[in-house]
Structure 1
Amino acid sequence: MTFGPSVKRLAGRLAPERAVLAVILFFALASVVLTVVAPSVLGRATDLIFDGIVGRSLDPSLSKEQVVEGLRAQGDSSRADMISAMDLVPGRGVDFDAVGRVLLIVLALYVASAVLQWFQGYLLNIALQRVIKRLRTEVEAKIHRLPLRYFDSTKRGDVLSRVTNDIDNVSQSLQQTLSQLVISVISVVGILGMMLWISPLLALVALLTVPVSVLVTAVIAKRSQPHFVAQWTQTGSLNAQVEEAYTGHELVKAYGRQDETARVFHESNEGLFRASFRAQFISGIIMPAIMFLGNLNYVAIAVVGGLRVASGSLSLGEVQAFIQYSRQFTQPLTQIGSMVNLLQSGVASAERIFEILDAEEEEVDPADARGSAGGGRVEFRDVSFRYDAERPLIENLSFVAEPGRMVAIVGPTGAGKTTLVNLVMRFYDVDSGSITLDGVDIRDMTRAQLRSRTGMVLQDTWLFGGTIRENIRYGNVDATDEQVMEAARISYVDRFVHSLPDGYETVIDEEGGNVSAGEKQLITIARAFLADPSVLILDEATSSVDTRTELLVQKATAALRSDRTSFVIAHRLSTIRDADLILVMENGSIVEQGTHEELLAARGAYHRLSASGLQEQQVASGSMGS
C-alpha cells in the first residue's frame, strides 16, 4: 500500500549485514567490470580477423598508404576511409596466434567473473538467511507480546499465513531479486561507460529507449501493485477459511455443511485466483515491453554502426563490441523489469508482516515489579472494564476471595463471568480500579510472576502432540515422575491411563483425537494441579466430563483448595452448591453474593437461575444417578 516506505523499511533489515554486504558489493562490482571489459577485448579479435581478411585481398607490393591513395584516385573514398582506419598490412592474412591470445584473455575474464559472481551469491544467501531468521524471531517474540485482544479480533489462519507464507515469500523475493538487482544496476552503469567510450553518438541512440523503459515499468508497476496486495490478503483469508474448516471438520460433517463449506472455499479460491492472475499478468507485461524496445534499439544501433564503419569512424570490432554492449545494456533493464513483479509481491508480504510488528503490544511489565507471597487472597476494588469503548461491561465491581475458599461465579451468557477470570490472569487490564493478589496490585507484578501463581483450566481443552506424561508435565517442566504420577492420581487420570496401550507414554495428537473429551479435560486438570498454584481457575472445567467423573474432580479440587483461592465458573448446580461464596453476575455487575442456601432463601436472581437452567441440570443428574 506504501511501496516506497515499505521498500526502505525492508532494506533497513539488511543493516546488520553491512560488512558482508560491502564484500558482496565488491565482488559484484569486480565481476561486472570483468564482464563489461570482455566484449571490448573480444572486439579486438574481430578486428584482427577482419584486418587479415581485407589485408590478404590487397596487393602485397603496395603499402597501406599507397592502397588508400589509389582508392581515392579511383573515387572510392568510403573504402579508402575504412582501410585507412584499419590496422592491416597488404598481402598479410589473419594472425591466428594473436587471435588465440585475445580469446584466451576473454575466456579468463569470463571465468574470473563467474567465480566472483558465485562468491557474491554465496555470501548474499548467507546474509539474507540471517536477515529472515532475525525477522522470524522478531515476529515470534512479537506474537508473545501481543495482547489477547489482538487474537480475538484477528483470524488465526490469517496470522498463521503472515508468520509462514508471507515470511517465506519475502525470503524468496529477496533471494531472487537482490543479487540480480545489484548486478543489473552496476552492469547498466559499467556498460553505459564503455558505450560512451567507444562512441558517444551510438550511446545516445542506445539511451533513447531508457526513459521510455522506465516510464513503461513505472506505469505497469503502479497498476499491478494493488493486485499483489489483494493476492496476499486473499491468501490469508483462504488460509483462515481452510484452518477453520479443518479444525471444525467434525462439526461440518455432523451438520451436513460440506457443500456450503466447499462453496465458501471455492469463492475464496476464485478470489485468490483472480487477484493472482491480475497481479502476474499486468506485471508480466513489463518484460516483453522492454524487450520490444530493446529490439528497436538494436536495429537502430546496427544501422548507425554500419554507416560509421563505412565512413571509417569506427572499426568493425568496435561496432561488434558496441552491439554486444547494447544487448547487455538491454538485458539488465529487462531483468529489472522482470523482477518488479517479484519485488512487488515481496513488499506486499512485508507490509503484512510489518502490520504484526507495528501492532499495539501489552503494557510492559514494571521495572520495579513486586512479588507477593501468601495463600492467594484476591480482591477486586471498584473494577471497571469494557471491550468496546461504547459498551460498558463491568462497572465498579468489588469483592474479596479469601485463601482456601471456593468462589463460584454464575450468571447468564454475556454477564462477564469469563471476563472476570481474564482480568485476574491479566489477559486484559482493567480500565479503572484495581485487582490485588495478597495485597499487591497485579499490575505491579510481572505477568510471569502472576501466572506462575495461577493455574487455569478452560472449557476448551488444549493438548499438544506428545505423550500423556509430557502433557501433564507441561504444568511444571521441573516436576519429577513421582510428582506427575501424584497429580495424575489426584485428578483421576490414573483411572483410565492404564487401559491405554502404552500407559503414560501413550502419544496423543495435537487435537487429542485418541482420547475422549472427558479424558482430555482430566489431563488438563492434572496439568494445572502439577503447577501447584496459589489461585486455581476452573472455567466450565467439568462441562465435558460425566457426572461420576465430575464428583471425583470435585473431590480433587476440594483437596487442592487448602490455602488456595479457587474460582469456578459453572452452569451445573452440583458443581457450585458447595462453594464458600457464590457471585451472581448480570450485565457485568454482582447482583447477589452468598452461599447456596442463602441465595436460594433470598429468592432473587440466583433463585431464578436455579429454577430454570441450573435446576434442570440437577434433575438430569439425579435421574442419571437413580
Structure 2
Amino acid sequence: MPKQEKKSMSWLLQYLKPVKGRLALLLVMLLTSTGLQLLNPQIVKRFIDTAAGGGILTSLIQLAAFFLVVAVFNQLITVAVSYLGNDVSWRATNQLRGDLLKHCLRLDMRFHNVKTPGEMIERVDGDVTSISNFFAMFIVQVIGSFVLLAGILGFMFTVNIPIAVVMTVFTLLSILFMVFIRNLGVQSSKNEREASASLFGMIEERIAGIEDVQANGHVPYVMNRFYKLMRIVFLKGRRAWILRVIPWNTTVILFAIAVTAVLLLGVHYFMQGAISLGTLFLIYQYTQMLNDPIEMLGDQVQEFQKAKSGMLRSRELLALSSEIKDGDQEWLPDGALGLEFEQVNFSYNEDKPVLRDINFKIKPGQRLGIIGRTGSGKSSLSRVLLRLYNLDSGVIRVGGKDISELSLQALYRRVGMVTQDVQLFDGTLRDNLTLFNQEVSDDMILETTDRLGLRQWIDTQPKGLDTHLTAGGSSLSAGEAQLFALTRVFLTEPSMVILDEPSSRLDAATEHLLQSAVDQLMKQCTGIIIAHRLATLEQVDQIMVLGDGRILEFGAREELANNPNSHYARLRITGREEELA
C-alpha cells in the first residue's frame, strides 16, 4: 500500500476509536453470521444424502427444521449487523463532519470569500457521506466477505482439493485485480465531487439572490447556467462510474469461467462415484456463495474510490490553515478600551491597497466617527480591527495590547460589532438576541430591548421571547433586524463597540429613537461609528475622514465643524460625500 494511502487510512481510522466497543461487537456478530452461512449448505448436503440413501422421514424433518432455525437466526443477525454497521459508520463520520465544520469556521475570510456556502455544504456533508457509506459497507461487507471466503475455501480443501484449487485461483485473481486497479477511478470520482460542489454552490448563490434574479428577469440565464453545470456533473459522473465498474465487470467474467470449471469437475467426480449427490450440491452451493463476497468486494472497490476521493478532499480541507494566528494573551484592562493604529497598511489583493499608512489614536471612552466615500476603506478598517484579516504591515493596539498577541476570544469578549447585514437564525427571539447564550437573563434582555426601542415589538409577539423566528428573519422588518443586531452586541456588555452604518436601514423617526438609546448604552465603552448620515455623528468626540484608503482628516468634531476649510465642515454644509474627493 502506498505511503500516502497508509496515511489516509490511518487518519480515517482514528475516528473509529470512540466506537471501538461497538466495532468489537460488530465483528463478533459478523463471525457468527459467517459461520451460519457456512453451516446451512452442509445441512442441505446432509438432507440430500439422507433422502437419496432412503433415510427415515423423522431425520429429514429434523434437518429441515434445523435449516429453518439457522436461516431465521442468520437473517436476524444480518439485520442487526447492518444496523450496527451503519450506526458505527455514522457515529465515526459525524465526528469528522464536526471537525470539518469547526475547521471551516476557523479559516480566515480570504478563504470564505472564494467559497460559496453551497460548495462548503458539499465539502462538509457530501464528501463525508461517501466516506460514511464506505465505512458502513466496509465493516459489514469487506471484512465479512474475507471471513466468508476463508471459510469456504478452507472447507473446500477438506472436500475436494482440485476443485478447491480452482476456486482459490479464481478468488486470488479477482482480489489481486481489484487491489491493482483500486485507484483507477479515484481522480475521476474526485472531479465528480468537485463538479457537484460547484453545482450546489451555484444553486445556493442564485436562491440567496432570488429577489435580484426575479426582479431583473435573470431566470433564463440562471437555468442556462444550471443546465450547463448539470451536464458537467453528468459527464464527469459517467466517466467516474465507467472507471469504477471495471472491477465488477472483471469479476463477473472470472466467475463465469470459474463456475464452468468447477461444475465440470464436480460432475466428472460425481459420475465416477468419487462424491455424493449432496457433496455435488455442496460444491455448487459454495461456488455460488463464493461469488457473493467477490461481488461485494467489487462493489466496495467502487465505494472505496468514492470514499478515497472524499478522504482526499477532506484532508485537503483540514490541511488548510488560517492566516489568522491566535495569540496567547488573555488580559485587557478593565473598563473602556483605548485604540491605536500605527503605520497600518492593508490590501485584499497585493496590487490594490485598501488602507495606506493609517495612524490615529483615541482614548478610552471616546467616540470616533468615520466617514468617507464608498470604497474609501471604512469597513475594511473595522475588519482588520476584529482580525478578520491580517495586516500587510503596522500594529493595532486595543487597551494598549497588540491585537496580534491577544487570543481571539479575549478580543471578541471585549470588542463588539454591528454590521450592515444582520444574520438571524432559526430559533426563538431569546436565542437570536443572546446567540444561544443561556447565561443571559430575561430581565437583562428586556431591559436592553426597552432602552433600544425593541421591547414594544417583543410584547406584541404571541409568546414573547419564546416566539419562534425562521432563518433569515423574514418576519422582521429591516429596522427591527438592525435593532436586533444592536441588542446582541450590548447584551455582551462590551468595552468597545463598532457600529458599521448602524442607521442605514432605519427611517428618520426610528433613527432618532435609536440614537438616544445608543448614546446612553455607549457611556461605558469606547465607540467607533462608521456612517453616511451625519446625524449619526453628532455626539462623537473625534472625526476621521477617509479617502482612497488614506486619512484625509482627523481631529475633534467641534474643531473640524467650526473650521470652514475642513472636509467635515464642507460635508455638513453640502450633505454630499462628493465633497470628500
CA distance in structure 1 between the partners assigned to 2:329 and 2:457 by the alignment: 47
Query: Is the radius of gyration larger for structure 1 or structure 2?
Result: 1
Q: Which residue in 2 is equivalent to 1:61?
A: none
AA aligned opposite 1:273: F
Report the CA distance between 1:448 and its aligned residue.
Answer: 2.3
1:379 aligns with one of 325, 340, 349:
340
Q: Which residue in 2 is equivalent to 1:397?
A: 358
Q: State the Cα RMSD in Å.
A: 3.5
Moved more, 8-17 or 472-481: 472-481
Report the CA distance between 1:574 and its aligned residue.
Answer: 3.2
AA aligned opposite 1:374: G
Matched, 1:519 2:521: no
Report the CA distance between 1:199 and its aligned residue.
Answer: 1.9
Q: Which residue in 2 is equivalent to 1:271?
A: 232
1:362-402 per-residue CA deviation (whole Å, 9 max, x = no partner) reads: 76655553232132211223334444456554454332122
Q: Which residue in 2 is equivalent to 1:614?
A: 576
Matched, 1:250 2:211: yes
Q: Which residue in 1 is equivalent to 2:491?
A: 530
TM alignment of 1:101-120, pairs within 5 A: 102-103=63-64, 106-107=67-68, 109-111=70-72, 113-120=74-81
Counterpart secondary structure, 1:373: coil
Q: Which residue in 2 is equivalent to 1:141?
A: 102
Q: Which residue in 2 is equivalent to 1:173?
A: 134
Report the CA distance between 1:360 and its aligned residue.
Answer: 0.9
Q: Does the Cα contact within 8 Å between 1:372 and 1:440 map onto a contact in 2?
A: no
Report the CA distance between 1:218 and its aligned residue.
Answer: 5.7
Change in Cα spacing, 1:305 to 1:432, as seen in structure 2 (3 Å) is: same
AA aligned opposite 2:25: V
1:533-578 per-residue CA deviation (whole Å, 9 max, x = no partner) reads: 2111111221111233333333333223324211111223333365
Change in Cα spacing, 1:30 to 1:482, as seen in structure 2 (3 Å) is: closer
CA distance in structure 1 between the partners assigned to 2:62 and 2:475 by the alignment: 76
Report the CA distance between 1:489 and its aligned residue.
Answer: 3.3
Report the CA distance between 1:267 and its aligned residue.
Answer: 2.0
Moved more, 98-107 or 308-317: 98-107
CA distance in structure 1 between the partners assigned to 2:85 and 2:427 by the alignment: 39
CA distance in structure 2 between the partners assigned to 1:470 and 1:112 by the alignment: 50
AA aligned opposite 2:425: F
Matched, 1:24 2:21: no
Counterpart secondary structure, 1:13: helix
Matched, 1:124 2:85: yes
1:183-230 per-residue CA deviation (whole Å, 9 max, x = no partner) reads: 111111111112222222112222343455346646775443333223
CA distance in structure 2 between the partners assigned to 1:353 and 1:587 by the alignment: 40
Counterpart secondary structure, 2:185: helix
Report the CA distance between 1:609 and its aligned residue.
Answer: 7.1
Report the CA distance between 1:449 and its aligned residue.
Answer: 2.5
Report the CA distance between 1:28 and its aligned residue.
Answer: 1.7
Change in Cα spacing, 1:574 to 1:10, as seen in structure 2 (3 Å) is: same
1:310 aligns with one of 271, 281, 305:
271
Q: Which residue in 1 is equivalent to 2:16?
A: 14
Q: How many residues align?
A: 577
AA aligned opposite 1:483: M
CA distance in structure 1 between the partners assigned to 2:24 and 2:447 by the alignment: 60
Counterpart secondary structure, 1:464: coil
Q: Which residue in 2 is equivalent to 1:186?
A: 147
Sequence identity percentage: 29
CA distance in structure 1 between the partners assigned to 2:386 and 2:192 by the alignment: 38
1:454-488 per-residue CA deviation (whole Å, 9 max, x = no partner) reads: 22111112222345455334497544444333322
2:111 aligns with one of 144, 150, 159:
150
Change in Cα spacing, 1:116 to 1:156, as seen in structure 2 (3 Å) is: closer
Change in Cα spacing, 1:207 to 1:478, as seen in structure 2 (3 Å) is: closer
Q: Does the Cα contact within 8 Å between 2:368 and 2:541 map onto a contact in 1?
A: yes
Q: Which residue in 2 is equivalent to 1:39?
A: 41
CA distance in structure 1 between the partners assigned to 2:442 and 2:65 by the alignment: 74
Report the CA distance between 1:29 and its aligned residue.
Answer: 2.2
Q: Which residue in 1 is equivalent to 2:195?
A: 234
Q: Which residue in 2 is equivalent to 1:446?
A: 407
CA distance in structure 2 between the partners assigned to 1:26 and 1:335 by the alignment: 20
Change in Cα spacing, 1:3 to 1:229, as seen in structure 2 (3 Å) is: farther
With normalisation by structure 2, the TM-score equals: 0.87
CA distance in structure 2 between the partners assigned to 1:611 and 1:353 by the alignment: 57
Report the CA distance between 1:407 and its aligned residue.
Answer: 0.9
Q: Does the Cα contact within 8 Å between 2:454 and 2:480 map onto a contact in 1?
A: yes
With normalisation by structure 1, the TM-score equals: 0.81
AA aligned opposite 2:18: P
CA distance in structure 2 between the partners assigned to 1:469 and 1:107 by the alignment: 60
CA distance in structure 2 between the partners assigned to 1:198 and 1:617 by the alignment: 99
TM alignment of 1:564-583, pairs within 5 A: 564-576=525-537, 578-583=539-544
Report the CA distance between 1:325 and its aligned residue.
Answer: 1.4
Q: Does the Cα contact within 8 Å between 1:487 and 1:527 map onto a contact in 2?
A: no
Counterpart secondary structure, 2:397: strand
TM alignment of 1:32-111, pairs within 5 A: 32-50=34-52, 52=53, 93-97=54-58, 99-100=60-61, 102-103=63-64, 106-107=67-68, 109-111=70-72
Report the CA distance between 1:410 and its aligned residue.
Answer: 2.7
CA distance in structure 2 between the partners assigned to 1:275 and 1:168 by the alignment: 19
2:368 aligns with one of 378, 383, 407:
407
Q: Which residue in 2 is equivalent to 1:88?
A: none
Change in Cα spacing, 1:184 to 1:104, as seen in structure 2 (3 Å) is: same
Report the CA distance between 1:4 and its aligned residue.
Answer: 6.4
Report the CA distance between 1:310 and its aligned residue.
Answer: 2.9
Moved more, 492-501 or 232-241: 492-501
Change in Cα spacing, 1:6 to 1:565, as seen in structure 2 (3 Å) is: same
**Is there any run of 5+ residues in structure 2 with no aligned partner, and where?**
none
Report the CA distance between 1:162 and its aligned residue.
Answer: 2.5
1:339 aligns with one of 282, 289, 300:
300
Q: Which residue in 1 is equivalent to 2:121?
A: 160
